[in-house]
């Protein structure tokens, strides 16, 4: 097995697992070979993870923030030093092309650790004068935070959650998706090497059952989930039982609007990035592409011509631009949605065929707003083209969705760009580009796409609680 870790979980600074727990093969999506065998966490292991995290949080939370920051920045350096090996591991686990993982996964995780390491020491409270008396506020950690990840960006998701949580003095127990259990373990190793006390960042493996046990444990102070809306509903409800803090990074069905004055070649590039990167398995993808009627056909022609250049193949080959779907289950879901699109009358311009684990990048035209492919998240390489005539119409149609994760637009008209962006119901918007998510920019969804924000200073608000301290400088009066 090419990627077998020493054991399945990382608890209190060491690898461990119970040999009698059920095991699951971890597959390389490209050829179906077993790259590791991972055991599900038992109740005792979940308990051990909480015990370790509670104890470690006391030490970690009491450290000077600048020291915590130093540990996180060292971890960022280690991630960057090991980027090649981590990228290969991520490609083996997810099937994403190595040319993507080399720049977008551990690298983005390192950015998060560096950013939050850098600002850890700036997490100050306020001093509020009240005449002679005064109030000051302390930004205190929440305690033990649970992170639960999806399978599309495993190490990035682990870092986007761990970095702000740890910077603020929390400990974390992270459960990766059972499809992609490996790279979070490497992050746990690296944090120890960088100087984090054992137990500050723990990884436990397993399916939804393990996630549910983590979220409902009384020692869990907060949960941050990246996943689908149905899972989000369950996790949010479980967290509500204990009035726990939540961050929910859920699905999307985002619009990309191309106005008549857009640079067509750039807009086509954005549509490609917004639909086919990671074989379309990206939450913020702009899968509803609205193109002004006057340039619709020219846009469609260039898009189809450029999609023909996609190279499907071995994800470890640096020339490959489209890898397999993460699993047979995901491939079958995508193919079922493609069939639905065809049966509802959308015109297939290219792609959509499947060979083995691959789905060829596809473009549907003539899509109408009521079709399933226009409403439901597909999470595969399926782009839907719509035609529109005026600004008001397209804004209303773009917003006519239960989701609100992201949106993009292309125009050379500055005032229109900002006017339209202000009306779009989405957590992240792009003007004349798509899908760039630097750590400096808050990221998260509106409506069913989620609650809270990851990245940027905004993330720290979701990993701290404010304590107000009233300081009396005089005598205390009482009525009797």
Catalytic residues: 161, 249, 283, 454
- The minimum distance between CB 249 and ligand NDP, in angstroms, equals 3
Q: Smallest distance from the beta carbon of 48 to ligand NDP, in angstroms? A: 19
Q: Which is nearer to ligand NDP, 55 or 207 (CB)?
A: 207
Q: Quick one: which of 215, 262, 346, 365 contacts ligand NDP (CB under 6 A)?
A: 215
Q: By CB under 6 A, is residue 226 in contact with ligand NDP?
A: yes
Distance CA 367, CA 128 (A): 56
Which range binds ligand NDP by CB under 6 A, 108-116, 205-213, 262-270, 460-468?
A: 205-213
Neighbours of 124 (CB within 10 A): 11
Please tell me the distance from the alpha carbon of residue 222 to that of residue 181, in angstroms, as a whole number. Answer: 21
Q: Enumerate the β-bridge partners of residue 15.
A: 10
Distance separating the N- and C-terminal Cα atoms of the chain: 77
Cα–chain center distance at 25: 24
13/211 with CB nearer ligand NDP: 211
Provide, rounded to whole angstroms, the least separation between the CB of residue 105 and ligand NDP: 12
Residue of 155, 405, 409, 424 interacting with ligand NDP (CB under 6 A): 405
Residues 251, 315, 341, 408: which binds ligand NDP (CB under 6 A)? 251
Q: Which of residues 150 and 300 has its CB atom nearest to ligand NDP in the complex?
A: 150
User: Using CB under 6 A, which of 208, 313, 366, 442 touches ligand NDP?
Assistant: 208
Residue (207 or 316) nearer to ligand NDP, CB? 207
CB closer to ligand NDP out of 225 and 420? 225
Q: Is 36 helix (H, G, I), strand (E, B) or coil?
A: strand
Per rule CB under 6 A, is residue 227 in the interface with ligand NDP?
Answer: yes
Number of residues that bind ligand NDP (CB under 6 A): 29
Please report whether residue 151 would count as binding ligand NDP according to CB under 6 A.
yes
Nearest-angstrom CA–CA distance, 412 and 432: 8
Retrieve residue 54's tokens. Answer: 């509670």
Per-residue DSSP letter, 120:
G
In sequence order, what are the residues at sequence separation of 6 or more whose Cβ sits closer than 8 angstroms to the Cβ of residue 419?
Answer: none
Token pair 């699951």 in the structure block, residue: 24
| 234 lies in the binding site for ligand NDP (CB under 6 A) | yes
Verify binding: residue 174, ligand NDP, rule CB under 6 A.
Answer: no
* Options 4, 14, 137, 228; binder of ligand NDP; rule CB under 6 A: 228
Is 364 or 403 the residue whose CB approaches ligand NDP more closely? Answer: 403
**For residues 238 and 268, which CB has a smaller minimum distance to ligand NDP in the complex?**
238
The residues with which 223 forms a beta bridge, in sequence order, are: 146, 246
HEC letters along 427-472 = CEEEECCCCCCCCCCCECCCHHHEECCECHHHHHHCCEEEEEEEEC
**Residue from the set 91, 231, 279, 401 that interacts with ligand NDP by CB under 6 A:** 231
In 3D space, the residue among 128, 224, 110, 123 whose CA is nearest the CA of residue 174 turns out to be 224
Does residue 235 touch ligand NDP according to CB under 6 A? Answer: yes
Q: How far apart are CA 271 and CA 353, in angstroms?
A: 20
Instruction: Tell the burial category of 136 from Cβ atoms under 10 Å away from its Cβ (0-12, 13-18, 19+).
Output: middle
Q: Which residues bind ligand NDP (CB under 6 A)?
A: 148-152, 175, 177-178, 207-208, 211-212, 215, 226-228, 231, 234-235, 249-252, 283, 377, 379, 405, 445, 450
């Amino acid at each position: 097995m090419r990627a077998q870790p020493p054991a399945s979980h990382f608890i209190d600074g060491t690898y461990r697992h119970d040999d009698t727990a059920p095991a699951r093969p971890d597959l390389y999506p490209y050829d179906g070979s077993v790259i590791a065998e991972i055991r599900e966490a038992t109740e005792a292991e979940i308990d051990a993870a909480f015990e370790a995290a509670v104890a470690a949080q006391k030490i970690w939370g009491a450290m000077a923030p600048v020291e915590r920051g130093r540990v996180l920045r060292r971890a960022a350096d280690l991630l960057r030093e090991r980027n090649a090996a981590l990228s290969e591991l991520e490609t083996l686990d997810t099937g994403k092309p190595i040319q993507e993982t080399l720049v977008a996964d551990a690298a983005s995780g390192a950015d998060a650790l560096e950013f939050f390491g850098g600002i850890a020491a700036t997490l100050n409270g306020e001093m509020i004068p009240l005449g002679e008396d005064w109030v000051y506020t302390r930004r205190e950690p929440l305690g033990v935070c649970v992170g639960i990840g999806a399978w599309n960006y495993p190490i990035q998701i682990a870092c986007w959650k761990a970095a702000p949580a740890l910077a603020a003095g929390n400990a974390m127990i992270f459960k990766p998706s059972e499809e992609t259990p490996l790279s979070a373990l490497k992050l746990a190793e690296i944090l120890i090497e960088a100087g984090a006390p054992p137990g500050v960042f723990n990884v436990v493996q397993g399916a939804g059952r393990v996630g549910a046990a983590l979220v409902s444990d009384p020692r869990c102070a907060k949960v941050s989930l990246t996943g689908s809306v149905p899972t989000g509903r369950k996790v949010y409800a479980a967290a509500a039982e204990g009035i726990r803090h939540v961050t929910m990074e859920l699905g999307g069905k985002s619009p990309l609007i191309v106005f008549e004055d857009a640079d067509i070649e750039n807009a086509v590039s954005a549509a490609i990035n917004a639909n086919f990167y990671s074989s379309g398995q990206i939450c913020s993808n702009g899968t509803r592409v609205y193109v002004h009627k006057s340039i619709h056909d020219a846009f469609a022609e260039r898009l189809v011509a450029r999609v023909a250049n996609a190279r499907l193949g071995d994800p470890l080959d640096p020339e490959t631009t489209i890898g397999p779907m993460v699993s047979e289950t995901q491939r079958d879901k995508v193919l079922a949605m493609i069939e639905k699109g065809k049966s509802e009358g959308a015109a297939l311009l290219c792609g959509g065929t499947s060979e083995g684990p691959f789905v060829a990048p596809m473009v549907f035209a003539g899509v109408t707003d009521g079709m399933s492919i226009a409403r439901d998240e597909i999470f595969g390489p399926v782009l839907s083209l719509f035609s529109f005539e005026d600004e008001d119409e397209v804004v209303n149609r773009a917003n006519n969705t239960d989701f609100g994760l992201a949106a993009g637009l292309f125009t050379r008209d500055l005032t229109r760009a900002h006017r339209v962006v202000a009306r779009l119901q989405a957590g992240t918007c792009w003007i004349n580009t798509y899908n760039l998510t630097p750590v400096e920019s808050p990221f998260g969804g509106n409506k069913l796409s989620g609650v809270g924000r990851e990245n940027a200073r905004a993330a720290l608000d979701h990993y701290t609680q404010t304590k107000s301290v009233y300081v009396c400088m005089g005598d205390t009066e009482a009525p009797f």
